[in-house]
Structures are given as structure tokens and as C-alpha cells.
Structure 1
Amino acid sequence: MTSVLEIKDLHVSVETEKGPKPILKGVNLTIRKGETHAIMGPNGSGKSTLAYAVAGHPRYEITSGQILLDGEDLTELGADERAQAGLFLAMQYPVEIPGVTNANFLRTAKTAIDGEAPAIRTWMGAVRDAMKNLRMDESFAARNVNEGFSGGEKKRNEILQLELLKPQFAVLDETDSGLDVDALKVVSEGVNRAKENTGLGVLLITHYTRILRYIKPDFVHVFVDGKIAEEGGPELAERLENEGYDRFLVEA
């Protein structure tokens, strides 16, 4: 049976100085394992809010609606519990964690998700192989998480986590931002490997079509004013590249 991630009539607010501000206004989306869904839209349309709400960021309050994974309601669960259930978030702006090495972070995360520590020899072999595939020097394992990393190195580090933690579904929040062509190819290859090896389902948030040349979407959703304004196949992304979002903003 294919695993399914369902987002049902999701409404989300963020606390501001003037009180709660509604951002998501009824999002419905179904993603099956092995599928890639691209979310595209203008700045401020709520794309990143969707990513953080699905991942369980405490700042984003789900006021109504549900997030279901294989029928299990994740809506009230914390971020750690959602990760254990099979969700992963690659952040647009990965944070630095001073004092925690990549090697310790990765093994601790794997242990927390699986409920038991991986065997050292097997695990270190898997880490080395994944780093080699992502063209990361082995010295990165001993460096503190993202500390002093370039933008491209931080994004590769996110995909390193993705490949090693093996989630069922990954939300990639503008993983292509700040990447040059070579880094974009390497990161995309990592996502495609994860899809091929585990049947990963992907929710890919992006402004541009360039990453979609390497990570082929099955479905494209246009996000405007906190909800999905139009849906289609890969051809919709090409239309957006040529026409932009003006017609959706006028309608909104």
C-alpha cells in the first residue's frame, strides 16, 4: 500500500505585534510516495508557511484543518514526533549549531528517528558514501553543523541529512535558492537518489523552473494569497516561467 500525506483544509496563523495574522486559508493537497509536487507562487503567498506548518514549527498555529500521514493525524504532534512518523524539512535558511559536529548531529538524529543507534561501522560507511555523492569533503563530518558553511554547502548538508535519515516525505523549502548551476545539479541528484532508493514523496517549494529541469515534477500547484489558485502538470511551470504570476495576483 502506497503511503500518503494529506493536507486537508489547512488554515494557519502567525502571531504578530497586532495579533494573529491568517496566512494559510484552506489548503488541500495529497502527496503519494514517489510523487513530486512543486509549489510555485510569488513572494508572500504563504509557501514557506505551508512548509513550516507541515513540519510542526511551533510559531505557526494551525487554527483548523488536518495533516494526515497514512491516516494518522499529525496535526497536534511536535516536530520531533512528525520526524519520527516520516516527515523531513529542508529549510530555506539552514541554521548553524555551534558546538555540535555534523557527525554527532546526524547519528543523534538517526537514533531519535529509528529508536535505536545505528551500528558505528555501517553508519560511518553510509555517511562517507553520501558525502562523496554530494561532493562534500570528509572534513565536513567533524565541523559544527553549518557553522562557517557557504550557502551551497548548507544546502548540500540538508540533502545529506535527507539521504541518511530516509524519511517517507520531504518538504524542500526553496532548496535551489542561492545555488550556482553546479551545486544545483549536485543537490538535485541527491533528491533524485533518495526518490529512487526509498520512494520518497517530495513537496518542492520554488520560485523558478530551473530546479524543475533536474527534479521533474508530477504536479505543479500555484500558490497565491494562502491557498492553491491553480493546479496542473509540468507544463504549468513552463507557463509560469513565460507569463509570471500577474494574472493570479489580479484575480486575488
Structure 2
Amino acid sequence: MTKFEIRGLRADVLISEDERQEILKGVDLTINSGETHAIMGPNGSGKSTLAYAIAGHPRYEITEGEVLLDGENVLEMEVDERARAGVFLAMQYPVEVPGVSMSNFLRSSVSAVRGEAPKLRQFSKELQGAMKDLSIDSSFAARGVNEGFSGGEKKRHEILQLELLKPKVAILDETDSGLDVDALKIVSEGINRAQAANDMGVMLITHYTRILNYVKPDFVHVFAEGRIAESGGPELAAALESEGYERFVKAGA
């Protein structure tokens, strides 16, 4: 039973050498194995900052609080150690890595997380099976990481990593953005498949409720002004869909 706890997290974004701005202003959240928590909120509320601060992005500096994975503070770990411990981040804007093939990148990542390199034949079979499930053409295995990929193809690749790495907790930063209806269904099925196989906790950051029709949340949290302003069940997402975020923006202003 995995427990992922964010306690009193405050963080600044480093704008320049001499300028910084506080974005996270005391975030508290607990995610248990198998739970899906949807994080919703207006632009600029700090949702992506939360994701990148937990992952260890150098542009964000934690000033207070802790993030515990089964009692261990991941903020005391290097970025690669956080990944090996079981924290996964699917980025809103996946980067291209020219010259590194998808298959080599994924095998290296799996080797680092699992502690040993899988046998090549075994890994190839596992990779091709996962790619088929996500409707990724087998030829993509030889292409550079995200090089020349469409937005939807990049997002499928993020979920391909998720299925192969089998983390304890997955932070998915607007994985639904830029996806058409068919791609949204495929990506959602991949998330559900990975969660069912590994009983992982999921933090799903999104603006819209459409992905929540496929990835059913246990809890919905409204993020505003750098903190969680309100929490509830799936009915809260439905209310946000009809009412918007105006009352939270006004309350935080």
C-alpha cells in the first residue's frame, strides 16, 4: 500500500538570478495506491508548478514543506532517484531528443528504474506489445525520441513510458491537451491499464472534464492561487464544467 503525501508545500519560480515569485502557497494532498485525484483550476494557478516542483525541475525552488513517498522525503533525492523511487511525470510539453531512438531511451529508462537491464528479446516483445495497445506504429521504435512527432504522438509516448516504468505514483500534467477524441480514448485506456496493473496512485492535472469521462477520478481538487481551494468527488468536476472558476479567482484576488 503506497502513500504519497504532500505536506505544506511552498515553492518559488526562479524568474532570473535576482528575481523570484512564490507560486505554491501551502499545498496539502495525500494520494493512496489505486486512487485517482484530478487537479483542476484556472491558468496560472500553480498546477504545473506543483508537478515540476515535485519532479525536481531546477527552475522551481521548494521553500517549505515535504513530499513523502512511503515515508521518504523525495525532495531530498536527486531527480533520477525520485524516478527510481517510483515518481513519474508525464510532461505537458514533451521534449524532443534527436539522435536517441525511442527503443534505446525506453530500455535505458527501464533498466535504471528496475535496477537491471531486461533481456533484449524480452524487452522488445514487451515494448511492441505496449506500442500496439497505444496504437503506436512499430516503426516509431527506431525514431528519435519525440522527433517529428505530432502532439498526440508525443502524449502517447508519455503513456508508453508510464506503462513500461510501472511507477508507484504518476503525475500527469495536462496529458489530454491537444488530443482528438480517438487519441484521448487511447491515452485514457493506457492510463487505466497502467493503474490497474500496478495499483498506482494518479495525480491528473487538467482544465477540462472530458478526460474524466474515461479516467474516473475518486477525488477532484480545485487549485487556485497556489493552493487547493476546494475538494470533492466527481460531482465537483461537473459543477466546474457548468460554473467555471470565477468564484475561486475572485476569492483568491
User: Following superposition of structure 1 onto structure 2, how do residues 219-234 of structure 1 map, counting pairs within 5 Å?
Assistant: 219-234=219-234
1:250 aligns to what? Answer: 250
1:167 aligns to what? Answer: 167
2:11 aligns to what? Answer: 12
User: Following superposition of structure 1 onto structure 2, how do residues 119-134 of structure 1 map, counting pairs within 5 Å?
Assistant: 119-134=119-134
Q: Which runs of 4+ in 1 moved over 3 A?
A: none
RMSD over aligned Cα, in angstroms? 0.7
Matches of 2:52 and 2:78, distance apart in 1: 12
TM-score by length of 1: 0.98
Matches of 2:2 and 2:47, distance apart in 1: 23
Matches of 2:163 and 2:7, distance apart in 1: 28
Deviation, 1:200, is 1.4
2:212 aligns to what? Answer: 212
1:81 aligns to what? Answer: 81
Q: Secondary structure at the match of 1:164?
A: helix
2:189 aligns to what? Answer: 189
Q: Secondary structure at the match of 1:242?
A: helix
2:72 aligns to what? Answer: 72
Amino acid at match of 1:250: K
TM-score by length of 2: 0.98
Deviation, 1:37, is 0.2
Amino acid at match of 2:12: S
Identity of matched residues, %: 67
Matches of 2:4 and 2:133, distance apart in 1: 28
Deviation, 1:243, is 0.2
Question: Which region of structure 1 is more displaced relative to structure 2, 107-116 or 37-46?
Answer: 107-116
Matches of 1:76 and 1:68, distance apart in 2: 10
Q: Secondary structure at the match of 1:75?
A: helix
Matches of 2:56 and 2:35, distance apart in 1: 22
Q: Secondary structure at the match of 1:10?
A: strand
2:28 aligns to what? Answer: 28
2:42 aligns to what? Answer: 42
User: Following superposition of structure 1 onto structure 2, how do residues 125-144 of structure 1 map, counting pairs within 5 Å?
Assistant: 125-144=125-144
Matches of 1:109 and 1:16, distance apart in 2: 31
1:107 aligns to what? Answer: 107
Deviation, 1:114, is 1.4
